[in-house]
């Protein structure tokens, strides 16, 4: 099988490896679409993310979908929770203490043309969704989980600080949740244009929101979210900082009595994500701006790293080495 492995920071090597063999609880999936995420970029640029560092050549990619040997089109849930720890039993598999996650630490991800994955972590796709749609259900799930944490109510004023794919999805979710005014910040003009087309208004200092979603992973966005939160409001930190540090002016947050929550991936979101896309309430397809074959994974990462578009998709396929 053809595999794209991260060797060192910025160094992706395409190799031909022995195909995996599934056990009784697993399925062999022929991967057809993989979205590149901001966390993948952390691994690519710095050979690590947070307190995790590259220990061996790693296959990245966790926004993925494909086709099983039985011909079933599936989205691949990248999280493999143990199902038996305290947090799994409490209904929070995203907080599992034994969690394995695609393209993270010692668990290879989906940037390959064949993947063995637990059958329980495969989500059948309806005919109305393409395999690329299936890959985008993961970032939509992350956005859904963040919105769940914000406990949005009809008529709320919302702020989205950072309009990459996750931020743009949160903006759409806030709109269908009945938010009347949705404000955004985004330094990249092409992303700000999309936020505006989706009904967002550019945030300026002095405007206060009920719930602020920080989606950039940079401290300026965190500071703006804190400034934008109304007294008694809520700030949801979704972005992942490059240096594993988040800072903000404590006095502002304290005087406002803000509730600050950190969002951890997603949980139980695939069924809702599928229904939202099927119903036409959430547009995921227009987020895709670039597509590359597996052999050009390094080029795909370069485009994503330069933030030239929105969502970069790698489409694995059998290729001559």
SS (H, E, C) 29-78: EEEEEEECCHHHHHHHHHCEECCEECCCCECCCCEEEEEECCCCEEEECC
In a domain, 131, yes or no: no
Say whether both 87 and 163 belong to one domain. Answer: no
Q: What is the CATH number of the domain that holds 155?
A: 3.40.50.720
Residues 105 and 54: their CA atoms lie apart, in Å, by: 7
Say whether both 300 and 202 belong to one domain. Answer: no
Strands 11-16 and 2-8: antiparallel
Say whether both 248 and 300 belong to one domain. Answer: no
Say whether both 115 and 42 belong to one domain. Answer: yes
Say whether both 289 and 244 belong to one domain. Answer: no
In a domain, 269, yes or no: no
In a domain, 10, yes or no: yes
Residues 214 and 5: their CA atoms lie apart, in Å, by: 31
Q: What is the CATH number of the domain that holds 77?
A: 3.90.180.10
Say whether both 146 and 230 belong to one domain. Answer: yes
Say whether both 99 and 179 belong to one domain. Answer: no
In a domain, 205, yes or no: yes
In a domain, 80, yes or no: yes
Alpha helices in the chain (DSSP H): 38-46, 86-89, 131-150, 165-176, 189-197, 219-228, 250-256, 270-278, 297-305
Say whether both 109 and 179 belong to one domain. Answer: no
pLDDT tens digits in sequence order for the chain, 321 residues long: 999 999 999 999 999 999 999 999 999 999 999 999 999 999 999 999 999 999 999 999 999 999 999 999 999 999 999 999 999 999 999 999 999 999 999 999 999 999 999 999 999 999 999 999 999 999 999 999 999 999 999 999 999 999 999 999 999 999 999 998 999 999 999 999 999 999 999 999 999 999 999 999 999 999 999 999 999 999 999 999 989 999 999 999 999 999 999 999 999 999 999 999 999 999 999 999 999 999 999 999 999 999 999 999 999 974 433
Inter-CA distances, 49 with 43, 240, 274, 277, Å: 6, 8, 29, 30
Residues 132 and 152: their CA atoms lie apart, in Å, by: 29
In a domain, 130, yes or no: no
Q: How many structural domains are present in the chain?
A: 2
Residues 175 and 155: their CA atoms lie apart, in Å, by: 10
Say whether both 180 and 288 belong to one domain. Answer: no
In a domain, 164, yes or no: yes
Residue ranges making up the domain that contains 238: 142-262
In a domain, 218, yes or no: yes
Say whether both 88 and 160 belong to one domain. Answer: no
Say whether both 38 and 76 belong to one domain. Answer: yes
């Amino acid at each position: 099988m053809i595999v794209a492995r991260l060797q060192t920071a910025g160094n992706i090597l395409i190799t031909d490896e022995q195909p995996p063999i599934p056990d009784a609880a697993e399925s062999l999936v022929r991967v057809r679409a993989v979205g590149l995420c901001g966390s993948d970029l952390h691994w690519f640029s710095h050979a690590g993310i947070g307190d995790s560092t590259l220990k061996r050549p790693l296959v990245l990619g966790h926004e993925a979908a494909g086709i099983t040997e039985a011909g079933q089109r599936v989205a691949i849930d990248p999280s493999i929770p143990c199902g038996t720890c305290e947090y799994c039993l409490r209904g929070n598999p995203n907080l599992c203490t034994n969690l394995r996650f695609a393209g993270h630490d010692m668990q290879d991800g989906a940037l390959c043309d064949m993947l063995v994955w637990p059958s329980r972590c495969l989500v059948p796709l309806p005919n109305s969704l393409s395999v690329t749609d299936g890959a985008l259900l993961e970032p939509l799930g992350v956005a859904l989980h963040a919105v769940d944490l914000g406990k949005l109510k009809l008529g709320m004023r919302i702020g989205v600080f950072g309009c990459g794919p996750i931020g743009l999805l949160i903006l759409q979710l806030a709109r269908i949740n009945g938010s009347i005014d949705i404000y955004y910040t985004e330094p990249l003009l092409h992303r700000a244009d999309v936020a505006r087309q989706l009904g967002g208004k550019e945030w300026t200092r002095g405007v206060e929101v009920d719930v602020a979603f920080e989606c950039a992973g940079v401290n300026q966005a965190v500071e703006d979210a804190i400034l934008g939160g109304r007294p008694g409001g809520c700030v949801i930190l979704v972005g992942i900082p490059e240096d594993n540090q988040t800072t903000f002016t404590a006095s502002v947050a304290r005087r406002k009595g803000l509730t600050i929550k950190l969002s951890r991936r997603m949980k139980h979101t695939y069924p809702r994500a599928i229904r939202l896309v099927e119903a036409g309430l959430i547009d995921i397809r227009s987020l895709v701006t670039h597509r590359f074959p597996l052999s050009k994974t390094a080029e795909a990462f370069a485009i994503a790293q330069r933030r030239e578009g929105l969502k970069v998709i790698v489409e694995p396929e059998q290729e001559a080495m």
